Amino acid sequence: MNEILLAAAGLIVVTVAVGLARILRGPDDADRLMAVQLLGTGGIAALLLTASATRVPGVDDVALGLALLAAFATMAFLNHLDAGEGDAEP
């Protein structure tokens, strides 16, 4: 069972790596934001699967901390976009 969980974690990491290309060449800021959310969610899923497969203590806490940071990063990005739109208006 542990091999299946680690294989699923590896597949998620590959999917997240493909999402990195979207961040680098995304045509719009919203596309980049969604790709960053994909990276955060995929990283959390891979860490939780790894923690479940290996039973290493503390890995699930790192995943929960990453989830918290991803939420704050999204809010900061949205606030940055809102501040930029306010400057463009006369």
- pLDDT score for 8: 93
C-alpha span between 72 and 1 (Å, rounded): 34
Q: How many domains does the chain have?
A: 1
- pLDDT score for 86: 52
Q: How many CB atoms lie within 10 A of CB 4?
A: 10
User: What's the rounded mean pLDDT across residues 58-71?
Assistant: 88
- pLDDT score for 85: 65
The label of the residue with tokens 């503390």 reads: 58
- pLDDT score for 45: 92
Q: Domain range for residue 32?
A: 2-88
- pLDDT score for 90: 47
Q: What is the pLDDT of residues 4-17, one digit of tens each?
A: 999 999 999 998 88
Q: What is the pLDDT of residues 16-57, one digit of tens each?
A: 888 787 777 767 777 777 777 888 888 899 999 999 999 888
